[in-house]
Amino acid sequence: MKQLILASSSSRRIELLKKAGFRFRVIPSGINERSWEKRATDPVELVKTLAIKKVKKAASKLEEGIVVGADTVVEIDGEIFGKPISIIEARNMLKKLNGNFHNVYTGLALLDVKSKKSLVDYEKTKVKFRKLNLRKIKSVSKNNLDKAGSYAIQDENTSLVEKIQGNYDNVVGLPVKKLRKMLSKLEKWVEERKNG
């Protein structure tokens, strides 16, 4: 397999890739997600757009390899939550999620630097929050200003989440199973093009 480059400095994504046995380099894209999230109305289009922007930005510094980009948001009742910019915003997000179902979307993009061939897709997982008291909301909001929706399922899943319908890794921030399928598809396409 060609060298894999992760266009993210997210410790959660790095950990998931390592756990899945991937060897990769990290080149953060530096994309400003907030400006896109503020005007977005469709979570699927948002995460796919940001994922492809991230891979293109990281790929501009490279001559070869396959760049992986991902973007995760939380959506409840048509409202889209990225990373909060303050503790107050984090608490407001958690209050809305409290005791309710919400959707977690992760956009996933791959780009083969040499051939310029790209693939983009997304994963959706439904999550039900437990009913949390104000003390718990305050505690969680303080620690998760760098997480979409102001929470990290891998750190606090026992106390926050009652039920998950779909892929757990997606809620952490990188649907590894989908990534494997997309990598296989991209490599097959690049190989066919080279030989034919």
Walking along the chain (196 residues) 10 residues at a time, the average pLDDT comes out as 90 94 93 76 94 94 94 95 93 95 97 94 96 89 88 74 93 95 91 72
- At 196 the pLDDT is 59
May I ask the CATH architecture of the domain 4-195? Answer: Alpha-Beta Complex (3.90)
Both tokens of 128, joined, read 């039900």
Alpha carbon 44 to its chain centroid, in Å, reads: 12
What are the catalytic residues?
A: 71
- At 1 the pLDDT is 66
- At 45 the pLDDT is 95
Strands 118-129 and 66-76: unpaired
- At 22 the pLDDT is 95
- At 191 the pLDDT is 80
- At 80 the pLDDT is 94
pTM (predicted TM-score): 0.92
Task: Find the radius of gyration of the CA atoms of the chain.
Answer: 17
DSSP 166: S
Angle, in degrees to the nearest 10, between helices 134-143 and 153-160: 180
Taking alpha carbons only, the member of 20, 184, 48 closest to residue 124 is 48
Strands 79-81 and 101-112: unpaired
d(CA 17, CA 25): 11
- At 153 the pLDDT is 86
- At 175 the pLDDT is 96
